Amino acid sequence: MLIFNTKNDLSSYLSSLTDPLIGFVPTMGALHDGHLALLRKAKKQCSLVVCSIFVNHTQFDSKEDFNSYPNTLSSDITKLEKINCDLLYVPDVSDLYAIDEKAKHFNFNGLDPQMEAKFRKGHFDGVATIIEKFFNIIKPHKAYFGQKDLQQLLVVKQLTKQLNLPIEIVSVPTIREENGLAMSSRNKLLSPKHLETASMLYKSLEFCKANKGNFSITDLKNRIKTQFSEQLEVDLEYLEFVNSNSLQTISVFKENGDNAICIAAFVGRVRLIDNIIF
Ligand code: PAF
């Protein structure tokens, strides 16, 4: 695997190649099986796979969250080599941002006033700013995003459309721990006890899906809220029942697979998100 630290070296290498089909997997490192699923799919569909590792400060609304983001670069490199990733881009912040450069402002067509955008102010402006930069440097044919971050996935699709870029955004299903907890780099920050407790996010989503014919959405919401309020170390931030394409709130389930339930909660000091689509 070739490792590049600057956008100039990376893009001049890429332009020296003849007609590669480029698959791009952007990450913030602390790689887990969820990332490896993105990379495996990219390897299957593309002739050249580029992964990036960059903890993008402009998408964090809390310094504490940014500073505590796990950094496991040497084991990440081992994992990437094992999976035959072709190129890794690990830039320094100065390679991507000018001094004091802020995130650009975007409008995502109704996808961004709710959920993650509501609770993490400016988050998607930061994500879109860095993704636009990466797309301009790497010019991938396909880019891979996990369904775990459903709102991010839809925002990136919208961004690609707005910028009129010829990039296919490929969605990859969520990979889970044995207890159902969605894989996330933040899981590394959970104590063994909290790793177990955190499975209640997915269990709640599964409960709602299994009981969609038995209770109204309002009743399901209230039941889950009550369960969370009984757990001292868990703090439910939101539980939203939405259309899985528009993210607009729904009040009844549809039969067509367009239903999504999205959840965010703190387990101890660690903020986790998850969703289920059915
Ligand atoms: O999902 C992530 O890890 C980040 O939001 C991304 C897409 C790498 C942008 O920084």
Nearest to 37 by CA among 116, 148, 134, 139: 148
Delineate the domains of the chain, giving CATH numbers in brackets: 2-172 (3.40.50.620), 185-277 (3.30.1300.10)
Ligand 1 center–CA 4 separation, angstroms: 18
Residue 35 annotated in active site: yes
Q: Which amino acid is at 109?
A: N
Ligand 1 center–CA 53 separation, angstroms: 9
Could you report the per-residue pLDDT of 102-120, keeping only the tens digit for each?
Answer: 999 999 989 989 999 999 9
Instruction: Determine contact, residues 109/117, Cβ cutoff 8 Å.
Output: no
Specify which residues 182 forms β-bridges with.
176
How large is the average pLDDT for residues 110-136?
96
pLDDT in the model for residue 255: 85
Atom of ligand 1 at shortest range from CA of 185: 3
- The lowest-confidence range among 43-52, 93-102, 107-116 is 107-116
pTM, two decimal places? 0.97
Per-position b or e across 182-214, b if 16+ CB within 10 A of its CB = bbbbbbebbeeebbebbbbbbebbebbeeebee
CA-nearest residue, atom 5 of ligand 1: 127
- Judged against a pLDDT cut of 90, whether residue 205 lies above it is answered with yes
- One of 32, 35, 123, 194 is an active-site residue; which one? 35
For 70, the token pair is 């796990």
> Ligand 1 — pocket residues by CB below 6 A?
26-28, 56, 59, 127, 130, 149, 152
Contacting residues for 119 by C-beta, under 8 A, at least 6 apart: 237, 238, 264
Could you report the per-residue pLDDT of 206-258, keeping only the tens digit for each?
Answer: 999 999 999 999 999 999 999 999 999 999 999 999 999 999 999 999 987 89
Atom of ligand 1 at shortest range from CA of 52: 8
Taking the CA atoms of 64, 66, 67 and 72 in sequence, report the sign of the dihedral they define.
Answer: positive
Report how many helices (DSSP H) and strands (DSSP E) the chain contains, helices first. 11, 9
Q: At 43, which helix (H) or strand (E)?
A: helix 33-45
Nearest to 47 by CA among 6, 84, 88, 92: 84
How large is the average pLDDT for residues 188-194?
97
Eight-state DSSP code of residue 249: B
Contacting residues for 193 by C-beta, under 8 A, at least 6 apart: none
CA-nearest residue, atom 9 of ligand 1: 127
How large is the average pLDDT for residues 49-64?
97
The DSSP line for 152-202 is HHHHHHHHHHHTT---EEEEEPPPB-TTSPBP-GGGGGS-HHHHHHTHHHH
